[in-house]
Structure 1
């Protein structure tokens, strides 16, 4: 049997082995990325305010510190200061000590899961002391979406839209300015449609309509530009690389349905560096908190979009240079010959 026939016989067997090995590996990676953070969801340095006279809050702080590593305590003079901190997204809630007893301020708009966790933790402690806690939701989720499900559910569709946009631009052979225009135009249209659905139809968002549309658009562009940019530099393999990053890291690590401090470290931090997590945080700030604490995620999305679009232009320029250089080299060889 010739070497060529032997190689052709082995090739299908090797491809079959690759499928048998790679599919379970991808399944294991997906389970790790999605199941592990969910199974380890718990408070880790969740910012919580304590308001009132120092003599009155000392006992409350001591009780909260019994939940070792769960809370990062911020101290405020009175209830007004604590409310301002919640509205600025400095803390997720606050325990206010009053003459009538402790009062818990929450912000379900910041994270329904954290608000629920705070109610349970403070209520359990109060029950042990034989007291009752009055709870006030300072920044509540919209009545049309009391569980805040729509915001969390928006992460995957936006990620898919970004992946599809970047892949389409690459596979259709769009380059340079045309590619940038296509990516930007598609993202802008996604933003308008997403705002129309989430805000106008579902009533799940309550901020400035165009600001929300801008967040949806920038979140989509951050992904699509990264996909097209990496593909412009390394080829179509860039689509697969970015798809793995966005779907297996960005999506499950986004903390859109909980909070970054509820995920195991460094997952919560990594998620905020990627477009899905930054997009969810920025949308929450714009929709419910008048943009408070939105600078960080805005810069993250902007950098992803800018670097991706820059890579698209750079990749086009490099290919153009290679194309123009090749004929010159061929002519030189022909002259020598």
Structure 2
């Protein structure tokens, strides 16, 4: 039974009930992480002699559950860990006093949080804390606003492509070609705007464009795959999954470790969160820690496109079987 065949009073009731439910879900998905933003096992390094770093570690551990402390022998090892995206920053204990190493490219919000936390912990010693930004954000976008706001447009582009393929009746190879072609163009346009024009996303242009394309393809394939399984209702399911969960759970404006559990972990398994992580890696960190998010996006793209192809193959097989059975002569008993 199609929705249009329902009695008018049932359609009115469906709208009256459905819209508040969607609004409640959207408010929960966006407001809950924002209201509960705080460090949770945030990777932070401590470097220097064990005797000198012990008081620093004790002060950090007083904020129970806030930081996951990693110990390094010296500043060089701590810098390397930051550049490999193992930690967001590190406190280096020197004879001249503590030095904080940060990476605003990994998250400007986390870099600011670390400065405040370390300055607060060192307030009693009377020694000022020197801050060094090891991997800085783009000069034209020091707060990472362009990168953060790119999540929603990419998600909407993917949802739009997946919806268009379904509503236009494209199937099989044609659908896959349309989704892939759309993703390639989305990636090129996004790279042209964010890097060539705004100069907010550095790195290799082709790697940046490829990241945007893979993210858009993962979203579009997920939506088209859901639609291939569930019909047009799958468009809504895929859109809700990507926009209402993937976008706020991505940690783009802060970091996955700043979101309440398990929102941060869920976000990294969805295309928007994986796309942001991959973009940071290829843009600022020479590809460090890029394998995980790249595999996540590839998995979504492959699964979605595979579902589209499989659904078309099953549809053709069913269509061929029906005429064949109709041509079989009736058996006389």
**Superposition TM-score tier, normalisation by shorter sequence:** over 0.9
- Taking the TM superposition and a 5 Å limit, the aligned residue runs for 1:315-330 are 315-330=311-326
> Alpha-carbon deviations, 1:46-93, whole Å to 9, x = none?
000000000100010001111111000000111010000000000000
Q: Which residue of 2 aligns with 1:62?
A: 58
Return the alpha-carbon distance in structure 2 between the equivalents of residues 103 and 157 of structure 1: 38
- Secondary structure of 2:70's match? strand
- Taking the TM superposition and a 5 Å limit, the aligned residue runs for 1:96-245 are 96-245=92-241
1:10/1:252 Cα in 2 relative to 1: closer, same or farther (>3 Å)? closer
- Secondary structure of 1:73's match? strand
Return the alpha-carbon distance in structure 2 between the equivalents of residues 213 and 288 of structure 1: 14
Q: CA deviation at 1:333?
A: 6.6
Q: CA deviation at 1:14?
A: 1.7
TM superposition score normalised by structure 2: 0.96
Q: CA deviation at 1:10?
A: 8.6
> Alpha-carbon deviations, 1:121-179, whole Å to 9, x = none?
01111122222100011111011001001111000000000001011111111111111
- Secondary structure of 1:29's match? helix
- Secondary structure of 1:253's match? helix
Q: Which residue of 2 aligns with 1:4?
A: none
Return the alpha-carbon distance in structure 1 between the equivalents of residues 205 and 321 of structure 2: 50
TM superposition score normalised by structure 1: 0.95
Unaligned runs of 5+ residues in structure 1 are 1-7
Unaligned runs of 5+ residues in structure 2 are none
Q: Which moved more, 1:259-268 or 1:121-130?
A: 121-130
* Runs of 4+ residues over 4 Å off in structure 1: 333-337
